[in-house]
Chain A
Amino acid sequence: MDFLIFQVPILTVQAVLDGLLLGILFALIAYGMALQWGVMNIINIAQGDLVILGGYIAYFMYLYGIHPAWGVIVSPIIMYFVGVIIYKLVINKVVDRDLFISILATFGISILFMQLMNFAFGADVVLANSGYGTTMLFDNSVTLPNSKIFSAFISIVFAIGLVIYMKKSKLGRAIRATAQNARAAKILGVDTEKVYAATFGINAALCGVAGALISITFTIHPYMGLPYTIRSFMIVIVAGLGNLPGVAMSGMGLGVFEEFADYILGTEFRIGSVFLLLVLILVYRRFKLSKKREYLK
């Protein structure tokens, strides 16, 4: 059974494609996290729970007979306001505090969201069926669910849209200015309070899109948020803050790496190997950093 992937080379194609499609979806969530981490210096532990909430919006549309794919439009709109409300209620009180306080606050939000979703939607695992069928490649030996392809496509559209928005729009420029130097931006007339609220709202909206996509491709459950938080956190760490193309690359890279780890080491080492990679990258970064310091001396 060892190294099946070398005996059946076509599995390599399957692994790469699966990894890429999965990675792109994760990258979208990480994208939002990187954005608000960069702008507000807040690590949002509730990121995954926002994703799940977005997923429930699509699921309820599906329950009421609306095709869940419309969730990628409805869910971000609702989630934007959810994000702004969370900001007004909690986040604005911890924005200028140290990182630990923000982690505690968002951890609290995460627990609250989990319990509220459990209370409102029940503890059953649910999913929305898109009925999109399957794409078969290479004489049926590589199969890609169209729902995954759809998810990746939508993720890319939103990611590109966001980059353009950040570059061209007034709010986008204000967000970038605030990220560079909040005080200077304030002095120059940027309403940073508004910028923060919008940033958190945009982050929540991205989570909403991702959630809707996850309800189509995977399953959702009130307590399933944390893995998405951890994954996006890792992607951001690997990419580095303020590096949006890096987020996309590291998302896809980790996705593919994970698939190969599954085939070569076994499914049980899948998550472990990703964490190992993370440690290696952090050690390498530190090594590079310490060299730099020497140079400065």
Chain B
Amino acid sequence: MKIKNIIITFVSAIAILFSTSVVSLAKVVGDKIILGAAISLTGKYSSNGVHTQNGYNMAVDRINSMGGVKVGGKTYMFDIIYYDDESNPKRAAQLAERLISQDGVEFMLGPYSSGLTKAIAPVTEKYGVPMVEANGASRSLFTKGYKYLFAVLAPANLYLDVAIRTAVELNGGKGVRIAQAFEQDAFSQDVRLGILDAAKETGSKIIIDDKLPKELNDMAATLAKVKATKPDVLVVSGHTKGALTAIRQIAEMKVDVPMLAMTHCDAAKLSKQHGANSQYALCASQWHKTLTYKDDFFTDGMTYDADFTKEFGYAPPYQAAESSAALLVFKDAFERAGSFDQKKVRDALAATNMQTFYGNIKFAEGGQNVDKPMVLFQVMCDDAGKCENKVVAPLKWASAELIHPIPKWSSR
């Protein structure tokens, strides 16, 4: 009996040893370029994690079917190894470590959310693995001097900058009175910093500056303050929960404010949940299908929207679009580098200057994309109660005119 146990232990020990050493793949196997990604497929970010994964997959299929990546006269196909990070930063960092040191991945795609990107970036940086990420916008990602991190999206502090500037413009260039409520997470606080900068530059005054606790879903106190002080602009950022709570309570408490600017309205599907109550809200977005950017793979935003809807059965939120763009950036960089040397690919990424259906992409020193402005859309509803997001700023892409000030509740 004892001997049998020893034999079993011995055999399984050898089996484990083999299994770990055999897994090690190289980054480029045959004609495949293997990218690694830790994505939130379960846990609290799972819906946006899935959008991210769908975006990646859509681009991989498209690039592969249109001839793949040509490096050094040879054609390669993209392939991605996914792991589920369970929406947990610690797990994400472990998985990045595993992808790099066990699976031998030499190029990474980003996870969903700023928090998880922050957890992974030190690992990819340590191993010198270039990572193109599409869903981490927090400013602090780009101030740490990371050399191997590239983000295709605009940093968080620019999300609602446009809204403040538009409000000031409508006010005849004079500063406005701003009330703001931000959740206490890295992303929302970055958006807040952006507002502080914009307020300073435009001579605007911040009269309410509330920091919402993460666990709270009641904004009644903040909104009562807004009612009492009558600001020109109300800015709210607290992910989907914040957007939904704000719209519900603004309508319930009949808070009249000339301009309401928010983040996460696209993903929140505000108008679907709240119907006409969400009308006139201004939402910051990284991308909208009506923008006129073009590329060879997805043609333009409208085509991407149609193709994505056909494949996955729902309209692509910007999280999916920017994820697809990350693959286009990688393809472009590989071809310009003409090699799979990580250093060369990194340098090629740093020199990126291209247009995709998602927007222009050009990286600053810190890795953030500086060539793509945020867009603002306004929720507009017709008489039948059907609501749509219409781009209102910047003016270049505006498909509708901004409705300002928001009509009072008594007349709605």
Interface residues, chain A, with chain B CB atoms under 8 Å away: 1, 4, 8, 10-11, 14-15, 18, 22, 115, 118-119, 122-127, 129, 134, 136, 140-141, 143, 145, 147, 218-219, 221-224, 226-227, 259, 262-263, 266-268, 270-271
Contact = CB atoms under 8 A, between A and B. Distances in A.
A202 B212 CA distance: 33
A14 B215 contact: no
Contact of A218 (B245, B268, B274): B245
A127 B276 CA distance: 15
B253 interface: yes
A123 B47 contact: yes
Given A124-B240, A147-B252, A219-B245, A268 B184 contact: yes
Interface residues of B, number: 40
24 contacts: A4-B225, A4-B228, A4-B229, A10-B228, A11-B225, A11-B228, A18-B221, A18-B224, A22-B220, A118-B42, A118-B43, A123-B43, A123-B45, A124-B240, A127-B248, A134-B253, A143-B253, A221-B44, A221-B241, A226-B215, A227-B216, A267-B212, A268-B210, A271-B216
Given A118-B42, A122-B46, A268-B213, A145 B224 contact: no
A266 B212 CA distance: 9
Q: Which of A4, A218, A221 has the most CB of B within 10 A?
A: A218
Interface string B205-248: 00111111101111011101101110000000000110011001
Contacts of B215: 224, 226-227, 271
Interface in B245-284: 245, 248-249, 252-254, 268, 273-274
Given A11-B228, A221-B241, A224-B217, A140 B254 contact: yes
B221 A267 contact: yes
A271 B212 CA distance: 10
B181 interface: yes
Contacts of B227: 141, 143
Contacts, number: 106
Given A134-B253, A267-B181, 10 more contacts: A11-B224, A14-B220, A127-B244, A145-B249, A218-B218, A218-B245, A219-B244, A223-B44, A271-B213, A271-B216
The 6 closest A-B pairs by CB, nearest first: A145-B252, A227-B215, A268-B211, A267-B210, A262-B221, A143-B253
Contacts of A125: 240-241, 244, 268
Contact of A124 (B47, B209, B217, B228): B47
Interface of B: 42-48, 181, 184, 207-213, 215-218, 220-222, 224-225, 227-229, 240-241, 244-245, 248-249, 252-254, 268, 273-274
B111 to A, nearest CB: 15
Contact of B44 (A118, A268, A270): A118
A25 to B, nearest CB: 10
A48 B184 CA distance: 22
Contacts of B216: 227, 270-271
A119 B43 CA distance: 9
Nearest to B87: A123
A265 B326 CA distance: 44
A25 B326 CA distance: 46
Nearest to A13: B224
A267 B213 contact: yes
Contacts of B253: 134, 143, 145
A22 B216 CA distance: 12
A126 B224 CA distance: 24
A115 B42 CA distance: 8
B210 A15 contact: no
A122 B267 CA distance: 13
B281 to A, nearest CB: 16
Nearest to B268: A125
B354 to A, nearest CB: 33
A126 B273 contact: yes
A38 B234 CA distance: 46
A14 B221 CA distance: 8
B252 A134 contact: yes
Contacts of A262: 221-222
Contacts of B221: 15, 18, 259, 262-263, 267, 270
Contacts of B184: 268
A234 to B, nearest CB: 13
B224 to A, nearest CB: 5
A136 B253 CA distance: 8
Contacts of B44: 118, 123, 221-223
Contacts of A14: 220, 224
Contacts of B209: 1
A263 B43 contact: no
